A and B are shown apart, each in its own frame.
Chain A
Amino acid sequence: MIEIALIIGFACFSLALVLNLYRLAKGPGIADRVLALDTMVINGIAILILYGMWEGTAVYFEAALLFAMVGFISTVAYCKFILRGDIIE
């Protein structure tokens, strides 16, 4: 039963990634693109954890944690650059 649920979860989050890619390509503003990237990171974390359950290991949680951190830092850096023209003042 869990296998079927995992396949449904993979399908949902993959479709979500495609929708984010559409928003990333279409824009229209810089902030929309940054938001699309941030949501892509969130969906990527979900797919990583689902894949860890699929494979039956706990190794992918470290990768998901790193993904969450790098995604947050990159979003804040992008926004800081839009706001101030500089990342570290």
Chain B
Amino acid sequence: MTLLAEILVSVLIVAAGFFGLVGSYGLAKLPDLMTRLHAPTKASTLGIGGILIASMIWALMSGHGFSSHELLITLFIFLTAPITANFLAKSHLHRRIERRESLPAPEDGASWATFEAPEATHRDEPSSIAAARLRGEQE
């Protein structure tokens, strides 16, 4: 039983290390940001996931008992990775001025939110109050 758990933990650690390395190699190697975005997701899901499962099995095996910290870290990273990727893609689109015309037009005559200039507001004014003030100025 112990030998089986040791083999499992070792295989998981080596596999996770391989995926982490592949993710970072892709980050260094791929040609532009939209392709680079997808490489580190392997490191953050398979790499971190494998390491954390290995660590859970290891903690059970070595008498530390079942610990839920690993599950917390996995859950947090799985929740935040798509948000981070979305923000990075949005900021990439925002900076890439020369390709704006090639984007398809959104429905209902709206524009892409990331290309809209922020409304002129006072520095410490919350955006809801600023919107009300701008409406009042228009009327």
Contact B24 A61 (CB under 8 A): no
Q: Tell me the count of chain B residues lying within 8 A, CB to CB, of chain A.
A: 55
Number of A interface residues, CB 8 Å? Answer: 53
A62 nearest in chain B by CB position? B69
Q: Is the CB of B91 within 8 A of A9?
A: no
Scan A48-64; emit 1 where CB is below 8 A from any B CB, else 0: 01101100101001101
A46 touching B16 by the CB < 8 A rule? yes
In the complex with contacts A45-B73, A46-B20, A79-B87, A58-B64 CB distance below 8 A? yes
A68 touches B73 (CB 8 A): yes
Most A CB atoms within 10 A — which of B18, B72, B91? B91
Task: Flag if A45 contacts B43 (CB, 8 Å).
Answer: no
Smallest CB gap from B77: residue in A: A68
Check A61/B69 contact, CB under 8 A, given A2-B58, A52-B55, A80-B87.
Answer: yes
Residues on A with C-beta less than 8 A from B69 are 58, 61-62, 65
> Is B84 a contact of A30 with CB atoms below 8 Å?
no
Q: Is B58 in contact with A35, judged by CB distance below 8 angstroms?
A: no
A69 at the interface (CB under 8 A from B): yes
Say yes or no: B77 contacts A42, CB within 8 Å: yes
User: Which of B44, B80, B91 interacts with A31 by CB under 8 Å?
Assistant: B91
